[in-house]
Amino acid sequence: MASGPIAIKRALPGWIAAALVAAIVLGTLSAVAMRAEPGRGLGPAEWAAIRFTVSQAVLSAAFSVLLAVPVARAFARRRFAGRRLLISLLGAPFILPVIVAVMGLLAVFGRSGILNETLRFMGLPEVSIYGLHGVVLAHVFFNLPLATRLILQGWQDIPSERFRLAAQLGFTTRDIFHTLERPMLTRTLPGAAAIIFAICLSSFAVALTLGGGPHATTVELAIYQAFRFDFDLGRAALLSCVQIALVGTAAIAALKFSTRDGFGAGLDRPVQRWDAAHPLLRIIDTTAIALAALFLLLPITLVILRGAPALTSLPTSVWAAALASILIALISTVLMLALALPLAIAAGIHSARLETVGLLGIAASPLVIGTGLFIVINPIADPFALALPVTATVNAIMALPFALRILTPSVRDTHANYDRLATSLNLTGFTWLRLVLIPRIRPNLGFACGLTAAMSMGDLGVIALFADPQTATLPLQMYRLMGAYRMELASGAAVLLLGLSFGIFWLFDKGGRARADA
């Protein structure tokens, strides 16, 4: 790890960004805690919630990552028409609003879903989706795309020259696995698992709905209850600390496990896998891709089929909300970049620990951040007037961990591989950023921006605390439609939301790949 004056200078904005993120997350948390009246501590119900939260998150992370490996390997080894589009499409579940995704899953696995209708038709016993397995199924549905993308990124970071050399040396698939793929996987998997573990820790609506009852209680639900019915800010803050401790432990462990040696620089030649031509491998890869596509796309297709007819009858208020959502998504993306790029540079070349600061974003409960911001803003300004910027900021912080996980490894590799050359050419400051870093990490940058924009689009978190009728976002408007029994229109709004989230993700992602698609 180089830590000369240049490295320290490059890391400085990152430390500032880290301080800013920590100030927002921890500052809001202490704002909530300071308003707290003495409440009761953690009772047996809370401990049960903690146990369930951790166990379902462990299972969900393990299954998501393990299932993602064959899918990512298949995509890494195969080149076919529409591959890029399929990879993008498979990312769709990750950006779906929870309620839409659950409806889609139920259309397949539910009591009157396709699966059970088929089983009934064949005279076989029905299966129930409700229970721990349902929670894990839903979490795999949400996170398999992210895991696949993160692992596929790992594959793509192996320069094609390595595979070329391997082919020249007559490596078998097994040899390639041992010398190239296994080291890559040991580097990528813990990080991917940790981030999915952290996401699943804060799951709440999915865990409750598919968990089937109060035994499926998560910490986030306990925070919700403390805030809503008890207005026990002390307990909400205490539970938030529990949540942050859980996620923080996971993050530090994962960063410790991941080794940081790169594969060296390459010339960005297209990857050719001479070893993958074997027919058996071809069948394995095709099956992996087909199964993943079926599992991820069927529920979404059913949601679209149901909601599409209502698209034309959506009222103007829904379109206005869509516009507000797009605006928030774009502002969040800009804010995310302003935080994530310096952080990734600092974490990549100076101190990897900085990435844990970014993880605070998923560790903190949106409800607590929202409440904290409200307490902080309320004496100085009208919180309603700040609804849009506040939502955009919180969304940017929520997306930060994902962006960092996507950006940091590529920044690290760029630094490790090109820093000597850049230093000898005296490339520093913005010139270095423009000529060396940005072109090397452009696909990752596009992916991170797309993810942030899409996640922000589908988020219902903080806006509910700050919204007035004029600034409703699309997900909020969808809930309002449901609250007024307009389920048909709500499913139409869901399709619009899906289309927008996906469209904005695709635009950014494609923008990032415009050059790299060789």
Question: Which residues between 313 and 372 bind another protein (CB under 8 A)?
Answer: 315, 317, 371
Nearer to another protein, 35 or 442 (CB): 35
Which member of 183, 479, 511, 513 binds another protein (CB under 8 A)? Answer: 479
CB nearer to another protein: pick between 25 and 467:
467
Q: Does 182 bind another protein (CB under 8 A)?
A: no
Q: 142 exposed, middle or buried (CB, 10 Å; 0-12, 13-18, 19+)?
A: buried
Closest to another protein by CB, 139 or 187: 139
Residue of 22, 323, 487, 514 interacting with another protein (CB under 8 A): 487
Which of 215, 278, 420, 515 forms a contact with another protein (CB under 8 A)? 215
The reply to whether 382 sits near another protein by the rule CB under 8 A is yes
Is residue 210 within the footprint of another protein (CB under 8 A)?
A: yes
Closer of 19 and 385 to another protein (Cβ)? 385
At 114, give phi and psi (nearest 5°).
Answer: -55, -45
For residue 106, the minimal CB distance to another protein (Å) is 6
Matching residue, tokens 């088929």: 118
Residues from 119 through 178 that contact another protein (CB under 8 A):
130
Which residues lie closer than 8 Å to 169 by C-beta, 6 or more apart? none
User: What whole-number distance in Å separates Cα of residue 449 and Cα of residue 463?
Assistant: 21
Could you give the C-alpha distances from 506 to 148, 292, 449, 513, in angstroms and in order? 16, 19, 10, 10
- Burial class from Cβ neighbours inside 10 Å (0-12, 13-18, 19+) for residue 360 reads buried
Hey, what are 287's tokens?
């099956």
Number of shown-chain residues binding another protein (CB under 8 A): 57
Q: Which is nearer to another protein, 117 or 517 (CB)?
A: 117
Contact 162, 267 (CB under 8 A): no
Q: At what angle do helices 387-424 and 354-363 cross, to 10 degrees?
A: 160
Q: Which of 72, 76, 107, 239 binds another protein (CB under 8 A)?
A: 107
Is residue 106 involved in binding another protein (CB under 8 A)? yes
- Cα–Cα distance for residue pair 335/393, rounded to 1 Å: 7
Task: Single out the segment in contact with another protein by CB under 8 A; choices: 195-203, 257-265, 352-360, 471-479.
Answer: 471-479
225 counts as binding another protein under rule CB under 8 A: yes
- List the structure tokens of 354: 């900085």
How crowded is residue 410: how many other Cβ atoms within 10 Å of its Cβ? 22
Closest separation in Å from C-beta 456 to another protein: 20
> Which single residue is written with the structure tokens 């050719």?
272
Choose one: 183-191, 322-330, 422-430, 462-470; the region binding another protein (CB under 8 A): 462-470
Q: Per CB under 8 A, does 484 bind another protein?
A: yes
Burial (CB count <10 Å: 0-12, 13-18, 19+), residue 151: buried
Which residues, 6 or more positions from 246, have their beta carbon under 8 angstroms from its beta carbon?
A: 50, 53, 54, 201, 219, 363
Closest approach, Cβ 92 to another protein, in A, equals: 20
**Per-residue exposure over 418-445, b if at least 16 CB sit within 10 Å of its own CB, e if not:** bbeebeeeebeeeebeeebbeebbbbbb
Distances (CA, A) of 157 to 28, 262, 392, 407, 471: 38, 9, 31, 12, 42
Q: Does 461 bind another protein (CB under 8 A)?
A: no
Stretch that binds another protein, among 206-214, 242-250, 424-432, 509-517 (CB under 8 A): 206-214
378 binds another protein (CB under 8 A): yes
48 contributes a contact to another protein by CB under 8 A: yes
Piece of 119-127, 245-253, 470-478, 499-507 that binds another protein (CB under 8 A):
470-478
Q: How far is the CB of 485 from another protein (least distance, A)?
A: 4
Please identify which residue in 164, 260, 273, 486 interacts with another protein, judged by CB under 8 A: 486
385 binds another protein (CB under 8 A): no
240 lies in the binding site for another protein (CB under 8 A): no
Dig out the tokens for 93 from the structure.
């579940």
Nearer to another protein, 246 or 478 (CB): 478
Contact with another protein (CB under 8 A) among 92, 103, 198, 441: 103
The three-point CA angle 382-462-477 to 5° equals 100
How far is C-alpha 349 from the geometric centre of its chain's CA atoms?
24
CB closer to another protein, 102 vs 457: 102
- Footprint of another protein on this chain (CB under 8 A)? 35, 45, 48, 99, 102-103, 106-107, 110-112, 130, 204-205, 208-215, 221-222, 224-225, 227-229, 231, 315, 317, 371, 374-375, 378-379, 382, 384, 464-465, 467-469, 472, 476-477, 479-487, 490
